[in-house]
Structure 1
Amino acid sequence: MLDKSSLLQGITRYIERNLINGTFLIHRALLNQLEEESRQGLVTSDIALEEINRLKQLSERYLFAVELVGKEGGDVDRELRNYCMERGCTLLTADELQKKMSDLLGINTRYLEPLSEPLSIEKFFDGDTMSVHLKEDTQPKAKRGRPGDWEFVVLNDSPMPGSEVKKIVSEILNSIRWTKGSFIEIERKGSTIVQLSNYRIVITRPPLSDGWEITATRPVARKTLEDYGLNSDLVQRLEQRAEGILIAGSPGMGKTTFAQALAEYYMKKGKIVKTIESPRDMHLPPDITQYSKNYAEIGELHDILLLSRPDYTVYDEMRNDEDFRLYIDLRLGGIGMIGVVHATTAIDAIHRFLNRVDLGTVPGILDTVIFINKGTVEKVYSLEMTVKVPEGLREADLARPVVQIKDFLNDKVEYEVYVFGEQTMIVPVSRLNVNTMENRITKAISGVIPDAVVKKENGEYVVEIPREVIPNFNRKVNTKLRKLEKKHGIKIRIRLMDKET
């Protein structure tokens, strides 16, 4: 008697090796369950039905019988066990729980031990392969290299038939039961996400995709924080002050690799570190507990983490409102948070928080933003709250709370965030400062020389004036310009306009 696990294990492979023989029974309740699950889009049931077809084909070649028995309906595993108890047949299974229950009930059981053979998916990987992309009726391809420095290569000139892709899917699902650290992370209609040892595998099929497709990724670079050669001031901040950390970058640039290195760094410093992942694809020591968002409700993770009180929680791949709310709640609850988000610039990552929280709470939630590009730390921002007149505004009564976003390494303010009317503004300060200074110089001389043009060249300000107005450039104008130089620490030079100008 076959159960679903024996079909997923690939019973036909055991028959071809002459490890199992006899008459094979398929219960109608199992067949009905597989049909219903296949209609719902579950890939595992579709693979099991494919295995039944292979079994029937094999029976004609090796001359053994395949029979349908029993009645539809009821709990499938219970129906299988009851049938075997009544008829004295042997139950074939690759499910340890099924074997334990059958042994307790005195049912003859044959447990299918895994066959020792390499997986087909592994032959597409070499030491530099980041990911493999297989789709029926197309050439197999792979990304080779390192985050931010890879190339897309064709692995075989011949398109891969759908039957071959399905065979690889079957092998992957078969291997989950006996490969350590492997499980089905998500199974939805038309898609399955599998963690197979250190491979993260996404399987899609029609109608979700226009054909069977496998995308398998494997971490190539495993770095420690020391490998990044970080500035000593940044390392000190990460050790002592940073508790609301955001790691941002484009897809494939090494965000998760850096977050993994940071998690291990905190663990070695004696901190309690946990992660929230969807799916789990970080490779971390056992001391770091990895939670799956897919197997727990958001409220459940919230309660677990608030009660267990880790020093740091790494939230990998934050995407939707629920992810950001959980990050914000845990951070406001006093837990150090490290969030990983997709963003093309560091300021874009910060912007994703602004619409979800009050401006005044932003520096308490985010204090350090690290932008990763091509596997290296390209930019680091720190966030601070102050009360001032925002850059670009004039009147003193416009003073308000302003979040200053500073380049951490030179302590220079690059952006200011404040509320103007009902809108939250993110203003680049450096651009404002240039324009404001040019405007101030223009204003100082426009009353006397209205045609003057102010430019910034090589770090100094150049005032170009027409030749015919040289007599108008008097001591009063010169005094105004020298005061601006002294007040703002700038250099102003006068130059005659070209005739063409």
Structure 2
Amino acid sequence: MTEYGGGEVYLLDLDSVVDGSALRMISSGGLRGRVLIHSALVDYLYSEAKRGRSAGYAGLAELSRLMDAGVGDVEIVVVEDDARVQPRDEGELKSVLRRYALRVGATLVTSDPVQARAARALGVSVLFTGRSRTGRIRIEEFFDGRTMSVHLKEGVPPLAKVGKPGSWMFVSLSDKPLTRAEIEEIAREIIEASALEEEGFIEIDRSGSTIVQLKDYRIVITRPPLSDGWEVTAVKPVAKLRLEDYSLPEKLYNRLLERAEGILIAGAPGMGKTTFAQALATFYAEQGKVVKTIESPRDMRLPPNVTQYSKNYADLGELHDILLLSRPDYTVYDELRSDEDFQLYVDLRLAGIGMIGVVHATTPIDAVQRFLRRVELGMIPSIIDTVIFIDSGEVSKVYELSITVKLPTGLREAELSRPVVEVRDFITGELEYEIYTFGEQTMVVPVRERRGRGEAAILGAIRKLLPDAEVEVRDETLIVRLPPRSSRVTARRLKRAKKLAEKHGYDIRFMPL
């Protein structure tokens, strides 16, 4: 190590600046002597900040603090190579810093374990500052056991959703509006913590927005010009539920255990879809199944034996190859949004992998309709066999899908028989929807509603026409029981009854009372 003015010479690496570990070392007296900041590091952070990246903002804020810390036994100096270096990416920057530390004999201060190994391989002295952060950051202080999410924006008092899915209220956490400086400081803390925590990582870092998963918190940071001001939104699950906590009917529990392999979990935003998917993934993992997930961001809290993949660090083709080769029993696909998401779900399901998809939908049938324009109608029951609709954190509806060749309800000509996807209430077995093609159009017909209205109309009409008869509908057939002797039962009235039944789409049978 090179001596300078009675102290050692240190060169700061990118990670030790961004995560604040270098500043903490200086403040605690762990670094004394000359601390070098390479100009390429400053340029890189400036470039990232101009692109709207969170690491750039956090790094520049830390550099400002570092410059103020250079007093007493610490001298902060900005240095540069004779030949001006302009690294194009993070990898080139780290290479520049390693070579410079080797050339001047400085100790490289880094919290990146890979950079530390690479530097030591070159013979560079390394001071490793990587460690878990202790204490709570400010965003955590806004949460208690009933807080679902916290919403922070500059110029607005902090707000929170308190309660549970389907039963919550917006509350103000303070009367004092937050300033831009406060929001930027909260965002900087979050970025630092994500670099230090084992359970923290930046999922997406775009110009104008950053998505962070930090322990149980899913955090979205937006800034101008994308938003009209700095904003931080943090969401935390209120409870981690097991499948047993949902009090599922035994029939549904057995289906999930034995038969269901193409599952859709649907519901409106904030109703608890991902929480149920998390419980289902844990259930299958405890049954000895190999379970993997595809998430964006990875916010499910799952056992260690469940591998969680991020869509943001691999393209869907790579995930397709990984899952086909590793052949899990079940794959949980959280948040099906784009055509590529649905296509990957379909490909993996048709390859024999059990799939659990999470999709936004306002009604259960809407979840099925999301597939109609993406796959052939006849393939849908092979892809989706069970639809579970979540409302206010509870399972409110379950559909099962099957395909048959029949005459669709309401059509009378036998030659109109065609393949029909039947959507039935799984618990009651009642047919609720029929899906079929008519011409070039795919029809989604609510059978139960139409049948209910038709039954009331035809029963009323027949009873008015034949007041002495008993009338009921059984399996789309109108059963009319006639008294043996009645002056009001005539051939003319029977003929009119038959025409009424045909008009309403029913067969009719006359039987003695």
User: Hey, what's the Cα distance between the residues in 1 that align with 2:369 and 2:299?
Assistant: 26
| Alignment correspondent of 1:499 | none
Please state whether the residue corresponding to 2:26 is helix, strand or coil. Answer: helix
**For residue 85 of structure 2, what is the aligned residue in structure 1?**
72
Q: Would you say 1:329 and 2:342 are equivalent positions? A: no
User: Residues 303-342 of structure 1, C-alpha deviation per residue, up to 9 Å, x if partnerless?
Assistant: 1111211111111111110010011111111111111001
Q: Aligned partners of 2:411 and 2:457: how far apart in 1? A: 13
The 1:293–1:441 alpha-carbon spacing in structure 2 relative to 1, beyond 3 Å, is: same
In structure 2, how many angstroms separate the alpha carbons of the residues matched to 1:445 and 1:105? 97
SS of the residue aligned with 1:118? Answer: coil
Q: Contact 1:131–1:218 (CA<8 Å) still a contact in 2?
A: yes
- Which residue of 1 is the match for residue 12 of structure 2? 2
- SS in structure 2 of the partner of residue 152 of structure 1: strand
Q: Distance in 1 between matches of 2:430 and 2:466?
A: 35
Whichever residue aligns with residue 267 of structure 2, its letter is G
| 1:84–1:90 CA contact under 8 A, matched in 2 | yes
Over 3 Å counting, the alpha-carbon distance change for 1:104 and 1:439 in structure 2 is: same
Q: Deviations over 1:61-109 (max 9, x none)?
A: 9984433432322432222222222222232222122222222223233
Identify the residue that residue 142 of structure 1 maps to in structure 2: 160
Change (3 A) 1:20 1:138: farther
- Distance in 1 (alpha carbons) for counterparts of 2:49 and 2:75: 27
Aligned mate of 1:319, from 334, 337, 348: 337
Query: Using the alignment, how far apart are the partners of 1:314 and 1:439 within structure 2?
Result: 46
Task: Give the drift of 1:234.
Answer: 0.9
Partner residue in 1 for 2:408: 390
1:41 to 47, 52, 60: 52
**Sequence identity of aligned pairs in percent?**
52
Judged with a 3 Å threshold, the aligned counterparts in structure 2 of structure 1 residues 218 and 442 are, in CA distance, closer, same or farther, namely closer
Note the alpha carbon deviations across 1:146-171, whole angstroms, 9 max, x for none.
22222211111111111122212222
1:438-470 CA-to-partner distances (Å, cap 9, x unmatched) read 564687699999xxxxxx9xxxx9xxxxxxxxx
- Give the aligned residue type for 2:38: H
Aligned-pair distance for 1:474? 6.2
Residue 444 of structure 1 contacts residue 481 of structure 1 at CA under 8 Å; is this kept in 2?
A: no
Kindly indicate whether the alpha-carbon contact (under 8 Å) linking 1:441 and 1:481 is maintained by their aligned counterparts in 2: no
Asked if the contact 1:444–1:480 (Cα under 8 Å) also holds between the matched residues in 2, the reply is: no
Q: Report the residue type matching 2:368 in the other structure.
A: I
- The whole-number CA distance in structure 1 between the counterparts of 2:508 and 2:281 is 44
**Greater shift after overlay, 237-246 or 86-95?**
86-95
Normalising by structure 1, what TM-score? 0.87
Determine if contact 1:8/1:47 at 8 Å carries over to the other structure.
yes
Give yes or no for contact 1:144–1:152 (8 Å, CA) kept in 2: yes
Match of 2:237 among 197, 219, 223: 219
The reply to whether residue 350 of structure 1 matches residue 368 of structure 2 is yes
Instruction: State the partner residue of 1:434.
Output: 452
2:195 matches 1:196: no
Kindly provide the amino acid, as one letter, of the partner of residue 273 in structure 1.
V
Task: Give the 3 Å change call, closer, same or farther, for CA 153–21 of structure 1 in structure 2.
Answer: farther
Query: How far has the Cα of 1:376 moved from its partner?
Result: 0.4
For the residues of structure 2 that align with 1:245 and 1:439, how far apart are their CA atoms? 37
What SS does the corresponding residue of 2:198 show, helix, strand or coil? coil
State the shift of 1:184 in Å.
Answer: 1.3
Stretches of structure 1 that go unaligned for 5 or more consecutive residues are 450-455, 462-471, 491-501
Q: Tell me how far apart the structure 2 counterparts of residues 116 and 438 of structure 1 sit (CA, whole Å).
A: 69
Q: Distance in 2 between matches of 1:302 and 1:116?
A: 39
User: Separation in 2 of the partners of 1:94 and 1:262?
Assistant: 37
Partner of 1:109: 126
Partner of 1:359: 377
Gap runs ≥5 in structure 2: 1-10, 468-472, 479-486
Q: Which moved more, 1:79-88 or 1:181-190?
A: 79-88
1:229 to partner: Cα distance = 0.8
- How far residue 191 of structure 1 moved from its aligned partner, in angstroms, is 1.3
Counterpart-to-counterpart distance in 2, 1:256 and 1:489: 51
Cα distance, 1:40 vs structure 2: 2.1
The answer to whether 1:239 aligns with 2:257 is yes
Task: Return the letter of the residue paired with 1:217.
Answer: V
> 2:484 maps to what in 1?
none
Q: 1:489 to 1:248 in 2, by over 3 A?
A: farther
In structure 2, do the counterparts of structure 1 residues 98 and 63 end up closer, same or farther at CA, with 3 Å as the change threshold? closer
Partner secondary structure for residue 163 of structure 2 = strand
Aligned mates of 2:170, 2:393 — CA distance in 1? 18
d(CA) in 1 for partners of 2:105, 2:196: 28
Structure 2: which amino acid aligns with 1:207?
P
CA distance in structure 2 between the aligned counterparts of 1:89 and 1:136, rounded to whole angstroms: 42
In the aligned structure 2, how far is the partner of 1:82 from the partner of 1:108? 12
Aligned partner letter, 1:36? S
| Secondary structure of the structure 2 residue equivalent to 1:284 | coil
My pick for the range that moved more, 206-215 or 412-421, is 206-215
Distance 1:306 1:355, change over 3 A: same
Q: CA deviation at 1:182?
A: 1.7
Distance of 1:404 and 1:332 partners within structure 2 = 20
Q: 1:126 to 1:445 in 2, by over 3 A?
A: closer
Question: Is the Cα contact below 8 Å between 1:392 and 1:436 reproduced in 2?
Answer: no
CA contact (8 A) 1:136 1:212 kept: yes
Aligned residues: 469
Q: Are the aligned partners of 2:281 and 2:332 in contact in 1 as well (CA < 8 Å)?
A: yes
For 1:223 and 1:289, how far apart are their aligned partners in 2? Answer: 19
State the shift of 1:172 in Å.
1.6
Distance in 2 (alpha carbons) for counterparts of 1:428 and 1:324 = 25
Match of residue 493 from structure 1: none
Q: Deviations over 1:374-419 (max 9, x none)?
A: 0100000111111111112121111111111101111110111000
Is the 8 Å Cα contact of residues 391 and 432 (structure 1) preserved in structure 2? no
Quick one: distance in 1 between partners of 2:368 and 2:130?
51
* Shift in alpha-carbon separation, 1:224–1:117, aligned structure 2, 3 A: closer
Aligned to 2:391: 373
Partner residue, 1:464: none
Q: Is the 8 A contact 2:295 2:310 kept in 1?
A: yes
Counterpart amino acid of residue 72 in structure 1: V
AA aligned opposite 1:30: L
